[in-house]
Structure 1
Amino acid sequence: MIYDSKQLKTLSVLFEKYLCECQYSKGLRPRTLAGYSEVFGTFQKIVPEVITTEDLSPQVMTVFFKRISTRERIVGRDTIRIGVKPSTIKTYHNKLIAFFKWLEENNHIENKSLTEKIITPPEPIYNDERALTKEDISKIIASIALNTTHNEFLYKRDMLIISLLIYTGVRKTELLSLKVQDVDFNQRSLFIDGKTSKSKKSRSIPLHITVIMHLKNYLAQRKARGTTTDALIISSKRDKGFSEHGLKNWIQKYRRLSGVKFHLHQMRHSFACSLARSGADITTIMKALGHTTMRMTERYLRSISSENSRDYIDKLSY
Structure 2
Amino acid sequence: MITSTSNIKDCFDQYLSECEYTKRLSSHTMNSYRDVMKNFLKVMPEIKTPMDLHPYLVHEFFKRLGKRAKRNDMEIKVSTIRTYFNKLNVFFNWLEINDLIEKDSLTAKIIKPPNPRYNDAKALSNAQVSKIVGAIAYYNMENDEQLKRDIAIIKTLEYSGIRKGELLGLRVQDVDFMEKTLFINGDTSKSKKSRYIPLHYSLQSALKLYLKTRVVRHITSEYLFVSIKRNTPLTRQGMKYWVKKYKRLSGVNFHLHQFRHTFACNLAIQGTTIISIKNLLGHSTTQMTERYLRSIQTEDARSNIDSLL
TM-score (norm. length: structure 2): 0.95
Of 52, 56, 61, 2:58 maps to: 61
Structure 1 residues 65-124: Cα deviation after superposition (integer angstroms, max 9, x where no partner): 1121232379xxxxx433310000011111111000000000001353321111111111
| Separation in 1, partners of 2:58, 2:299 | 41
2:132 pairs with 1:135? no
Of 29, 42, 45, 2:42 maps to: 45
The equivalent residue for 1:244 is: 236
Change (3 A) 1:7 1:57: closer
The equivalent residue for 1:302 is: 294
Give the aligned residue type for 1:64.
F
Give the aligned residue type for 1:170.
I
Unaligned runs of 5+ in 1: 75-79
The equivalent residue for 1:33 is: 30
Matched-pair contact (CA < 8 Å) for 1:183–1:189: yes
The equivalent residue for 1:287 is: 279
- Secondary structure, counterpart of 1:101 in structure 2: helix
Matched-pair contact (CA < 8 Å) for 1:143–1:258: yes
Structure 1 residues 249-276: Cα deviation after superposition (integer angstroms, max 9, x where no partner): 1111111100001111111111111111
Give, in angstroms, the shift of residue 309 of structure 1.
2.4
The equivalent residue for 1:77 is: none
Give, in angstroms, the shift of residue 244 of structure 1.
1.7
| Separation in 2, partners of 1:176, 1:41 | 27
The equivalent residue for 1:268 is: 260
Structure 1 residues 151-176: Cα deviation after superposition (integer angstroms, max 9, x where no partner): 11111111100000000011111111
Matched-pair contact (CA < 8 Å) for 1:199–1:292: yes
The equivalent residue for 1:181 is: 173
Of 280, 304, 309, 1:312 maps to: 304
Matched-pair contact (CA < 8 Å) for 1:89–1:121: yes
2:230 pairs with 1:254? no
| Separation in 2, partners of 1:15, 1:105 | 14
Give the aligned residue type for 1:156.
K
| Separation in 1, partners of 2:5, 2:10 | 7
Matched-pair contact (CA < 8 Å) for 2:166–2:189: yes
Segments of 4+ moved more than 6 angstroms: none
2:16 pairs with 1:24? no
| Separation in 2, partners of 1:244, 1:223 | 24
Larger displacement relative to structure 2 (98-107 or 287-296): 287-296
Higher relative contact order (CA 8 A, sep 6+): 2
Percent identity of the aligned residues? 49
Unaligned runs of 5+ in 2: none
TM-score (norm. length: structure 1): 0.93
| Separation in 2, partners of 1:267, 1:175 | 12
2:160 pairs with 1:191? no
| Separation in 2, partners of 1:137, 1:81 | 33
2:207 pairs with 1:210? no
| Separation in 2, partners of 1:141, 1:267 | 13
Larger displacement relative to structure 2 (187-196 or 222-231): 222-231
The equivalent residue for 2:269 is: 277
Give the aligned residue type for 1:206.
P
Matched-pair contact (CA < 8 Å) for 1:251–1:263: yes
Structure 1 residues 2-46: Cα deviation after superposition (integer angstroms, max 9, x where no partner): 78x7752x3112111111111123322111111111111111112
